[in-house]
Amino acid sequence: MPRRTLLALTASLIFLVAPWLLPPFHVGIFAYAGIYALAAIGLVLLLQAGQISLGQAAFMGLGAYGSALVARAYGIDSFFTLIFSIAATALVAALIGYITLRLRGHYLPLATLAYGIALASSFTAWHDVTGGASGLDKIPPLGLFGYALTDDRLYTQLIWIVVLLAVLGLSRLRNSRIGRAIATLESHDGMARSFGIDTTVLRIKVFVFSAVLAALAGGLYVHLLRFVSPSPFALLTSFKLLIMAVVGGPSSAIGGVVGALTLESAQWALQDLLARWGATGNLEVIVFGVILVVMLLKWPQGLSPALERLLPKAKPRRSDGTPLSARTLPADRAESLLELKGIGINFGGLQALADVNMQLKRGEFVGLIGPNGAGKTTLFAIISGLLRQSSGTVTLFGGKMPDSHSIVREGMARTFQHVQLVPTLSVIDNVALGAYWRTSSGFMRGLLALDDAENARVLASARAVLRRVGLEAEAELAAGSLPLGKQRIVEIARALLADPQILLLDEPAAGLRFQEKLLLVKILRQLNAEHVTILLVEHDMELVMGCVERLVVLDRGRVIAEGAPKDVQANPAVISAYLGGARDKAA
Amino acid sequence: MIDTALFLLVDGLTNGLIYALLALSLVLVFTVTRVVNIAQGEYVMLGALTLADLLQGRMPGTLYLLIGGLALCILLDAGRWRRDWRGALLFATGLIAVAIAAALITRMALSLHFPVIAMMAVALLLVAPLGVLIYRFTVHPIPDASTIVFVIISVGVSMAVQGLGLLIWGASPYPVEPIAAGGLMAGPVFIPYQAIAIMVVALLSMGGLYLFSEHTLIGKALQASAMNRLGAQFCGIPVNLAGGLAFLLAAAFSALSGMLLAPLITANYEMGFMVGLKGFVGAAMGGLADYPLSLAGVMIVGGLESTSAYLASAYRDVLVFSLLIPILLWRNARQRVETR
């Protein structure tokens, strides 16, 4: 058995027997640490998706009140009321997520703060049902079919079983298809959509799942304490959970556990120590605050990455599957794949594109050139559905433009002028994003590790593509650590893994060395020979002239010339656009 | 009915302007250093309690905080003695001189029984440098950390400072004298002089900040660091000094708002957090980057607050914070249109 697995099993075993070894007072602390860890793990997932939430405690409160009130009022087994309250919280979270997740920048954390306070205040304000600020007692213990779980040690063990399962599930998820997609949510929305990820829906799913973990934590809390009041679910707890997630390190689910254990034990140890030294009650807050600051100055990434370095390395993932089946492209060169008619777009007063007409036929290799600011990248954004044109129509594969996240399914993939890789993910995981639409394992399959076979096939295909572009040796490095030229090649590899009929390349050769350029040209020619249609934007004229069969020249938002490279090179309008002069005098 | 509305208007305006000073501090700190400073409200508390001490003839505890902080600063500089003992000596002497000067000024103010306005200036001298010290301790060591790390660090600072406040001043509230007692009748409404003082001071400080950042070289350097840290560095602007300056100014504005607010509500050790939160809500409505919009934001918060306090019901906070979400959605949509 690999050492890492052995270590994980031993650690889990220690957690599970700990309630039987600790003195009763510490069992309680351990139980609450587990509950906070569960809610903090939810926040870790949110942070991985680039969302900061100050409302997590409110969802804990919904889970707690939902289960406590129903179990208390109707005498239903609290196991069922817990499930009910988790489902109800998930519904509320889906609604809140649907409304607020379209917010960007600082508006989103602010919105979480707002509903966090609003929900927590309503626990106090709805006095008739919730018992107001003084709370309600006589909450039934956790029970199923008449059997009640009243033993604190057993209960604590149950809590930690749930926590360990959550950690296991989320660690699996991180390496799955959905995990890779979640990593794009923080700052690569456009890229994610062009590779088939419906980011809006995925954001809501992540948010709901995180709320479900919080609700579960809240339910476990209230049936352990058997008393419910609003104060544990107020803003302060949300802050506490966020501190746990950040101190523990949001890069992995273990961070939630490490953070919760560190903070809870630090708090209790401080109280104990300072009381023993006869210090007054408020000194612990000061010391706690100072420790918090010092820890983050020392480990800004959180404790878990520092811990991770001490552990034996994880065994390499399976990448031995049969590669995904690719489509075979017809050789018929008459079919029109992409047609632009009268495309125009304005940004405020600036007419970025005006009346652009263009056609791509199957198997063509077309270059799109023009001076800086001619509108090439804008045109790309329209073709790939990330921008909507103000006038004109785009026809893709004979139909009208689908949503931006469905375009890749139709068979069009692209690269970006400003490299859009997730810097913390490995190269092979970045490439594997290209196969997102070709695979189907969802959230649950990722959590339960039912996607193993499919994932192995994806990784095998990704490895094959990396071999083709000469980057197999770098497969396991973090993408952000590669030089820019290699990052561009990773972009191309990712687009290739999307198995495109049309490939859009936005300045793929910028920053490449001579040898890399030669390889790029070779790959492009090969692809074209396999009937892949290519549209290339590039400033390296030698490269463009050497491989394309047709050129379209854009200047100031208009097509000024079109035709074979030789003819375009001789076109006076093109020469003046690049060198200035004639036209400016005429105007 | 109209009387009530006018009263609420004056009340909302006064509250709003106090939060405005805080929102200003938050925006200033965020634009220059990318720190969302949850601890900004603690300077409000320090300002108010320092003023309370000075007015009642006690040596303010803030002085000890300042001296302790300066000492820690010298300690953190210990590594420099080997490489550059002259520089280190100069630095240490300078800090000790600052500490002695602060102590002397405070003694003088106490023995000469300065008037309220002068006492406010002394309190400002004691509190504002704490901002620079906190910048030195918590932001300067890790300038490139992510937003969320700074948020949590500032939570730690907030806890520590609030704990120190409790240690120094205890839990009991302190009354603070207003700049001028009484007020005047403007038609049917009574306007306290303190409200007028708040408006004048708030508007003067905002105007001052505007003139400073638009018409002085240092102000322009601050703006440059706010727009593009790296670019500013290439132009020879010491961005670390810019960060320290932003923290200094922000601490001063927040302390000022605490001193103006204290006579209305009495000062205590935990007053800072709630005021800070409301300032943050206002500032965040402007995306933490836009001064005029932040102003509008805090005015909305102040107005909502005084109206809902008047209509006092159990659902006050629920309503105020739920109403915030549609405003945010609207702002978000507007901003997207503007950037396009």
Q: Note whether residue B171 is domain-resident.
A: yes
Across B29-41, average pLDDT? 87
**Domain count within chain B:** 1
Mark yes or no for CB contact B321/A104 under 8 Å: no
A125 to chain B, any CB pair closer than 8 A? The answer is yes
pLDDT at position B19: 85
- Check if the beta carbon of residue A200 is closer than 8 Å to that of residue A101: yes
Query: Is the pLDDT reported for residue A451 higher than 90?
Result: no
Q: Is B315 on the interface with A (CB under 8 A)?
A: yes
Q: Can you spell out the DSSP letters for B250-272?
A: HHHHHHHHHHHHHHHH-B-TTHH
Q: How far is CA B233 from CA B236, B238, B246, in A?
A: 5, 6, 16
85-124 of B, contacting A, C-beta below 8 A: none
CB-CB neighbors (< 8 A) of B273 in chain A: none
What does the pLDDT average to over B186-196? 80
User: Which of A104, A113, A348 is opposite residue B332, by nearest beta carbon?
Assistant: A104
The amino acid occupying position B11 is D
Q: Least CB-CB distance to A103: which of B145, B288, B332?
A: B332
**Upper half-sphere CA count for residue B243 (Cβ side, 13 Å):** 24
- CB of B268 within 8 Å of any CB in chain A? no
Q: How do residues A151-175 score in pLDDT, each as one tens digit?
A: 888 999 999 999 999 999 998 898 8
Query: Which residues is A394 bridged to in the sheet?
Result: A340
Give contacts of A 291-320 with B, CB under 8 A: 291-293, 296-297, 300
Please tell me if residue A111 touches chain B, with a CB cutoff of 8 Å.
yes
CA distance A60 to A427: 37
Read off φ and ψ for residue B83, nearest 5 degrees: -75, -45
Residue in chain A closest to B287 (alpha carbons) equals A106
**What distance in Å separates the CA atoms of residue A422 and residue B232, rounded to the nearest whole number?**
27
B230 in reach of chain A (CB within 8 A): no
Residue B151 contacts A where some CB pair is shorter than 8 Å = yes
pLDDT of residue A527: 87
* Cβ–Cβ gap A107/B281 under 8 Å: no
Residue A350, chain B, CB below 8 Å: the answer is: no
Residues on chain A touching B141 (C-beta within 8 angstroms): 297
- Chain B residue numbers with beta carbons less than 8 Å from the beta carbon of A290 are 156, 160
* Cβ within 8 Å of A, B 20-79: 36
Token readout for B75 is 């300690």
- Secondary structure element (H or E) that encloses residue A555, with its range: strand A550-555
| B142 to chain A: closest CA residue | A297
A282 to chain B: which residues are within 8 Å by CB? Answer: 163, 166-167
What is residue A585's predicted lDDT score, i.e. its pLDDT? 44
- Cβ contacts (< 8 Å) between A47 and chain B: which residues? 148
In order, the DSSP letters of B163-206 are HHHHHHH-SS-B----SS--EEEETTEEEEHHHHHHHHHHHHHH
Sign of the alpha-carbon dihedral angle for A202, A203, A204, A208: positive
Q: What is the pLDDT of residue B340?
A: 42
Residue B175 lies in a domain: yes
Which chain A residue has the Cα nearest residue B313? Answer: A125
Residue A143 pairs with which residues in a beta bridge? A148
Determine how β-strand A550-555 pairs with β-strand A365-369.
parallel
* Residue B331 falls inside a structural domain: no
- What six digits make up the tokens of B170? 């205890």
Chain B residue at shortest CA distance from A347: B340
Chain B residues whose CB is inside 8 A of the A289 CB are 155-161, 163
Q: What is the pLDDT of residue B312?
A: 58
pLDDT digits (tens, 9 = 90+) for A493-547: 999 999 898 999 988 888 888 888 888 888 889 888 888 899 998 888 888 888 8
Mean pLDDT of B123-144: 91
- Cross-chain residue pair B146–A300, CB shorter than 8 Å: yes
pLDDT in tens, A184-239: 998 888 899 989 999 999 999 999 999 999 999 999 999 998 888 888 898 889 98
With vertex at residue A382, the alpha carbon angle to CA A378 and CA A385, rounded to the nearest 5 degrees, is 135
In chain A, residues with a C-beta closer than 8 Å to the C-beta of B322 are 114-115, 118
Q: For residue B219, tell me if it sits in a domain.
A: yes
Q: What is the CA radius of gyration of chain A?
A: 29
Closest CA to A368 of A346, A343, A348: A343
In this predicted structure, what is the pLDDT of residue A491? 92
Q: Could you give the 3-state DSSP secondary structure of residue A180? A: helix
Q: Which domain holds residue B148?
A: 18-271
| Token pair of B293 as six digits | 């919009």
Structure tokens at B172: 């009991």
B67-119 pLDDT, tens digit per residue, is 999 999 888 888 888 888 888 888 889 999 999 999 999 999 888 888 888 99
Q: Is A342 helix (H, G, I), strand (E, B) or coil?
A: strand
- Residue B311: the pLDDT is 65
Note whether A246 contacts B340, CB cutoff 8 Å. no
Location of structure tokens 């809902």:
B308
Q: What DSSP assignment string belongs to A232-276?
A: GGSHHHHHHHHHHHHHH-TTSTHHHHHHHHHHHHHHHHHHHHHHH
Q: How confident is the model at residue A581 (pLDDT cuts 50, 70, 90)?
A: low
Per-residue pLDDT at A422 exceeds 60 = yes
Domain presence at residue B55: yes
Q: Which residues of B touch A117 (CB under 8 A)?
A: 317, 321
Indicate whether B71 belongs to any domain.
yes
The answer to whether residue B44 is domain-embedded is yes
**Contact (CB<8Å) B284/A103:** no
The ipTM, to two decimals, is 0.84
Do the domain assignments include residue B66?
yes
Give the Cα separation of A499 and A508 in Å (integer).
Answer: 18
B189-192 and B183-186 beta bridge pairing: antiparallel
pLDDT, residue A587, reads 41
> For the segment A25-61, what is each residue's pLDDT rounded down to a tens digit?
889 899 999 999 999 999 999 999 988 888 999 999 9
Q: pLDDT band for A406, please (50, 70, 90 cuts).
A: confident
Percent with pLDDT over 90 in chain B: 24
Contacts of A127 in chain B (CB under 8 A): 314
CA trace torsion A391, A392, A396, A399 (10° rounding):
100
Chain A nearest C-alpha distance from B328 (Å): 6
Is residue A433 within 8 Å of residue A180, measured between CB atoms? Answer: yes
A window 50-79, beta carbon within 8 A of B: 52
pLDDT of residue B46 exceeding 50: yes
